[in-house]
Structure 1
Amino acid sequence: MARLDGTVSVVTGAGRGIGREIALHQAREGAKVAVLARTKSQIEETVSLIEEEGHTGLAVQIDLTSRADVERALGRIVDELGPIDTLVNNHGSFRAFGPIWECDPDEWWQDIEINLRGTFHTCREVAPAMRSRGRGRIVNLVGGGTGNSFPNGSGYASSKAAIMRFTECLNDTTKDAGVMAFAVDPGLVRTAMTELQLNSPEGQAHLPGIQELFENGVNIPPERAAALIADIAAGRFDALAGRLLRGVDDRDELEREMTRLAENDDRALRFSGMPS
């Protein structure tokens, strides 16, 4: 019996890249998977891959910045697949590169809105039903700039740091009811987002470090984050709820270190050297 048999998973940004791998891993573990993104053709392709392996998928086109659209989409998922057990917020936007005085203000804010507001909308809709059922796991993807400065990537970094803190707040609000939230950093993965950073004039001018990292062999397979998130959905890392887990982590070592990490308040967004 697969670990997620009888459960329902929702994965945003699942039309390609990391999100597609997450959706496929959830399905392979037995979950019925709702695949969400803006582009209909991409989510339909992901669902086709899920169905080719004999699993159940549902393509749902969505604008995550629209509260009404999120309510409609998640309502449809519950109607067609059943109550949601796992929510994975994988969607992301990073188009505003450069010093803030050179960034288009609307584009900078759109990165914030898609990343942070989209995550807020899905969590706000899913968490109450999970609380009433006494169980559920929410995974919010973070990334570069979450716990450190990201020169020339301030919009993306600000949104990801905010998602990390939001995840901690959400977990502390819901864990007593059996609903746990986690942050996951997949690492530097070759995706459409990083291709834009590598190939656009703005990305080449303002984010040369990305190219250097790839040239030095840093390229984390998306399967690493997908396997980690499948473990989270199955309950393997419940002791680390509210904290940051990484695609580069050795999951067996992480499991052995869970108690110590929690006791030391590690993998959290904290001021260094200051009392809490």
Structure 2
Amino acid sequence: MTSLQDTVAVVTGGGRGIGREIALHQARFGARVAVLARTAREIEETAALIATEGGTAIARAVDLVDRAAVEETLKSVVAELGPIDTLVNNHGSFRAFGPIWECDPELWWDDIEINLRGTFHTCRVVAPAMLARGRGRIVNLVGGGTGTSFPNGSGYASSKAGIMRFTECLNDTTKEGGVLAFAVDPGLVRTAMTELQLYSEAGKTHLPAIQQLFDDGINVPPTRAASLIADIAAGRFDPLAGRMLCGVDDRDVLERDMAGIVERDGRALRVTGMDMVKL
């Protein structure tokens, strides 16, 4: 049975949707949880929900693009809850839809900065402290465009592909020290982000496939990713560190296939079908 008793988890983007479910699941399995996001009201609601279930949680409003603010916030989390065992980077932005020449350049870059730079900032603070203790797990959420093209969603896709490669690099840097990094794709979940894609004029114009997917019945419950991440935090999938796990995965099947995935170097960003120039 999954147990996170006597651990500390930090969940970014934890004020609603997938992030709220991740925070709730961490707490239900025994972790003390710090919930981070920019909107104080939402993360305070998440912390209150955890408290009503008998768990321990604190809310910290922070802009993850602000490096100094991230450093101070995580320092305060450690002071109040203790050393961080699990970091979940769930925060995300996807507001720039359309061909790049039609996208607002500032919105496009905001998506990159929030998603990728925000993940860099939290990992940069947490990983050294985990290495000093010889243990820790980091989970970075990826998504659409991570391994394939995402027409009219280039900023989001580029950031998520970047997070995937960043996760691989981070894991290869820290795994010998007992700190493991994972990527998780939650699947298509109905969230505030997808609502913007569905109902904004730009979304309806440039991303009609999202509506079609929902019409076809594809709507992954956020609990799928949250349960998976709880298992990752508990160590169930340690052999798959540096690789991508998915909310839609059957976790029992995934566990049975771990050795095969590693052997065939699956669930990773790889260039295939061409001869690579050796430098």
User: Which TM-score band (shorter chain)?
Assistant: over 0.9
Q: 1 CA distance for matches of 2:138 and 2:273?
A: 30
CA-CA distance at 1:155 after TM superposition: 0.1
Percent identity over paired residues: 75
Say if 1:2 and 1:30, in contact at 8 Å, map to a contact too: no
Q: 2 CA distance for matches of 1:152 and 1:205?
A: 10
For structure 2, the residue ranges without an aligned partner over 5 or more in a row are none
CA-CA distance at 1:263 after TM superposition: 1.0
The one-letter code of the counterpart of 1:22 is I
Q: 1 CA distance for matches of 2:264 and 2:50?
A: 40
Counterpart for residue 129 of structure 2: 129
Say if 1:182 and 1:242, in contact at 8 Å, map to a contact too: yes
Counterpart for residue 83 of structure 1: 83
Say if 1:27 and 1:50, in contact at 8 Å, map to a contact too: yes
Deviation per CA, 1:7-43: give whole Å up to 9, x if none.
Answer: 0000000000000000000000100000000001000
Counterpart for residue 54 of structure 2: 54
Count of matched residue positions in the alignment of Structure 1 and Structure 2: 276
Q: 1 CA distance for matches of 2:2 and 2:140?
A: 23
Counterpart for residue 18 of structure 2: 18
CA RMSD of aligned residues (A): 0.9
Taking the TM superposition and a 5 Å limit, the aligned residue runs for 1:1-276 are: 3-274=3-274
- For the residue of structure 2 that corresponds to 1:55, the secondary structure is coil
Q: 1 CA distance for matches of 2:275 and 2:265?
A: 12
Say if 1:51 and 1:57, in contact at 8 Å, map to a contact too: yes
- For the residue of structure 1 that corresponds to 2:266, the secondary structure is coil
Q: 2 CA distance for matches of 1:70 and 1:263?
A: 37
The TM-score, its normalising length taken from structure 1, stands at 0.99
The TM-score, its normalising length taken from structure 2, stands at 0.98
For structure 1, the residue ranges without an aligned partner over 5 or more in a row are none
CA-CA distance at 1:60 after TM superposition: 0.4
Q: 2 CA distance for matches of 1:79 and 1:28?
A: 22
Q: 2 CA distance for matches of 1:159 and 1:31?
A: 29
Q: 1 CA distance for matches of 2:69 and 2:165?
A: 25
- For the residue of structure 2 that corresponds to 1:59, the secondary structure is strand
Say if 2:2 and 2:230, in contact at 8 Å, map to a contact too: no
Deviation per CA, 1:197-237: give whole Å up to 9, x if none.
Answer: 00000000000000000000000000000000000000000
Deviation per CA, 1:40-89: give whole Å up to 9, x if none.
Answer: 10000000100000000000000000000100100000000000000000
CA-CA distance at 1:272 after TM superposition: 1.9
Q: 2 CA distance for matches of 1:114 and 1:274?
A: 33
Q: 2 CA distance for matches of 1:106 and 1:44?
A: 29
Q: 2 CA distance for matches of 1:41 and 1:93?
A: 19
